[in-house]
Amino acid sequence: MFYPRNSPVSVVITDQRLTIKYVNTGFEKATGYLSGDVHGKHLSILVFNPEHRDMMTRAVEHSLLGEPWQGQVKYQTKDGDTRVVDVVTSAIFNSGDQVTNFVAVSRDITYELELQSQLVNAQKLKALGRLSESIAHDFGNPLIGIRALLKDFDQRLELNQQDTHLLEIAVSECNRMQTLIGNFQHFYNSKRTFSTPCDINEVLNRLVFFMQKTLLTNNITTVIDHTPNLPPTKGRVDQLEQVFLNIILNAVDAMADQGGTLTIATYSEKDSICAAISDTGQGMDEQTMRQIFEPFYSTKPEVDGTGLGLSVSYGIISAHNGTITCRSTVSEGTTFKVFLPVEAHTV
Ligand SMILES: Nc1ncnc2c1ncn2[C@@H]1O[C@H](COP(=O)(O)OP(=O)(O)O)[C@@H](O)[C@H]1O
Ligand SMILES: [Mg+2]
């Protein structure tokens, strides 16, 4: 039989009982397993997780009918890397129409899939850029008017307790919308304001002051642990405010069910200053953590989450030559850290 020895695709050939008779160097390179590791073993040794078992059965069934089977399979290499391959399997029949071998040919498509998802993200961002410009203008201005009116009612009218409460809800909903519009604005126009030296403690204190009511109504205790006299960073204050607002609002959402503690610490580390914002909320599993910075990724019900907060924050912090990191444990809580270069080191 002819063996496709140096092919860039990986090839596995078995006999009719699914005993592995041949793997090419492409297979060895792709999986990290050598021919000697698998030769003479049953094909099920390549079943890397339970769902593959079903796939293999289907592949064999199809092949026996003389129809090739095609599918995408995710597997782990010997080194623990996760890869995705596009597999085609087929059976080889002898002149008496009996199956003599099965052949599986697979091509690594991990990189293609990554590119595809980056492209989809880029397209989403572009479309959003156009849309957001009009939303920011057409919704933002009336909203400022509505909020001013509500505040005016609050000050001028003698309202009973229930109506005061309703008015508070209306104002806080306006604030939520304003945050959202802020996120939209930062998508289409990141250079709206000037970069100035700024004191991160001051930015955070101002935010916490504005959010006092929201924090209290959600039974959240706030602990401020600032290092005094931090060196200034250089940045666009409104954008940095938006980042911390997004992170704190997420922390509030994560603790909304049973309250908790919000800790805001600042410190300097090498040439950076860091703001660490921790909550004692529901936390995240690994799968969620991997996606939180993607535009439109949200685990919240549609009315509450747009999935823009963290992707906008990521963009803003990158534009400030900083980094943003996240650590989280399910049921225990989450810490976001924002690192920004001290002023002398920013461009
Ligand atoms: N402090 C946090 N605790 C738990 N999950 C969080 C926290 N911050 C962010 N997340 C997760 O990240 C997702 C994306 O956040 P974000 O971009 O702000 O969008 P949104 O808040 O609109 O859902 C959230 O839906 C949530 O699943
Ligand atoms: Mg959010």
| 3 C-alpha to ligand 1 centroid (Å) | 51
Task: Tell me the pLDDT tens digit for each residue of 163-176.
Answer: 988 998 898 888 88
| 51 C-alpha to ligand 1 centroid (Å) | 30
Residue with CA at minimum distance from ligand 1 atom 11: 292
More confident residue, 146 or 188: 146
Beta-bridge partner residues of 325: 337
| 250 C-alpha to ligand 1 centroid (Å) | 5
Separation between Cα atoms, residue 186 and residue 129, nearest integer Å: 9
Helix, strand, coil percent content, the chain, rounded in steps of 5: 45, 25, 30
Beta-bridge partner residues of 218: none
Q: What is the mean pLDDT of the chain?
A: 88
Which of 119-128, 229-238, 264-273 is most confident? 264-273
- Confidence band (pLDDT; 50, 70, 90) for 275? very high
H/E element, 165: helix 161-188
Cβ atoms 26, 8 nearer than 8 A: yes
Residue with CA at minimum distance from ligand 1 atom 18: 309
| 218 C-alpha to ligand 1 centroid (Å) | 17
Amino acid 165: pLDDT: 87
- Confidence band (pLDDT; 50, 70, 90) for 347? very low
Q: Is the pLDDT of residue 1 over 60?
A: no
Q: Is the pLDDT of residue 151 over 90?
A: no
What would the mean pLDDT of 264-289 be, rounded to a whole number?
96
Vertex 255 angle, CA 253 and 261, to 5°: 125
What would the mean pLDDT of 62-90 be, rounded to a whole number?
89
Amino acid 193: pLDDT: 62
What would the mean pLDDT of 272-299 be, rounded to a whole number?
95
Amino acid 128: pLDDT: 72
Amino acid 191: pLDDT: 52
Amino acid 189: pLDDT: 58
> Which atom of ligand 1 lies closest to the CA of 288?
27
Distances from the Cα of 346 to the Cα of 79, 179, 237, 322, angstroms: 39, 27, 15, 9
Q: Is the pLDDT of residue 18 over 90?
A: yes
> Which atom of ligand 1 lies closest to the CA of 311?
17
Separation between Cα atoms, residue 1 and residue 102, nearest integer Å: 13
Domains and CATH numbers, the chain: 10-108 (3.30.450.20), 110-189 (1.10.287), 191-347 (3.30.565.10)
Residue with CA at minimum distance from ligand 1 atom 24: 298
Torsion of the alpha carbons at 54, 57, 59 and 61, rounded to the nearest 10 = -140
Which ligand is closest to the CA of 288, given by its number?
A: 1
